A = this chain, B = another copy of it.
Amino acid sequence: MLTAGRPEVILWAQPKGTRVSRLDSFIRRLEAQRACLDLAVAAIADLPGPVLELGLGNGRTYDHLRELLPTREIFVFDRQVQAHPADRPDASHLLLGDFRDTLPNALGRLPSKAALAHADIGSGDRQATAELARWLAGELVALLATGACVVADQPLRHPSLVSHPLPEGVPLNRYFLYRHQSE
């Protein structure tokens, strides 16, 4: 269960009314991210198409996706590559630059529309993140096959992105899961 992460001993050790620690919330976010990715991977099992990873970061979720989907092509979009060389895609699967430059031209680089996209785009700047998410939704939809799943750390609003039930134990608004349906 994703909701039960602490040993029972803590039930009496933690003073009542304390807030969730940053360690707690970080673990919850990662667990939610993984649960959503795993659910999405299962949901697209019968849908052909590559995977889009928006934001490589340190390459942890990229590594997770390539473990779960060893036969799919994964195309990675990021401004720069910080990940360890072993956790980077090859040059033909790496679209380097600002999303606003790389995404609108991405369809020509893909073998077909994507079956799955993961967007981990949040930064410390809440307003810039919200603006990016607003812009992203429309651009992303153009790259997605009908029935594709989108897993995102931000809410994405678009008429053809329909919220998908979250995995058990993942509360609303911790992570976001959508299915792409034709308008």
Interface residues on A, range: 35 or more
Q: At the interface, is chain A mostly helix, strand, loop or mixed?
A: helix
A34 within 8 A of B: yes
Provide the bound-state CA to CA distance between A20 and B23, in Å.
22
A21 within 8 A of B: yes
A67 near B19 with CB under 8 A, answer yes
Given A27-B30, A34-B6, A12 and B64 contact (CB-CB distance below 8 Å): no
Provide the bound-state CA to CA distance between A42 and B9, in Å.
7
Given A5-B2, A7-B2, A68-B14, A27 and B34 contact (CB-CB distance below 8 Å): yes
Can you report 29 residue pairs joining A to B where beta carbons are below 8 Å apart?
A1-B1, A2-B5, A2-B7, A5-B31, A5-B34, A6-B38, A7-B38, A9-B39, A9-B42, A10-B38, A10-B41, A10-B42, A12-B42, A13-B38, A13-B45, A14-B38, A14-B67, A14-B68, A18-B68, A20-B67, A21-B67, A22-B60, A22-B63, A22-B64, A23-B37, A26-B60, A27-B27, A27-B34, A30-B30
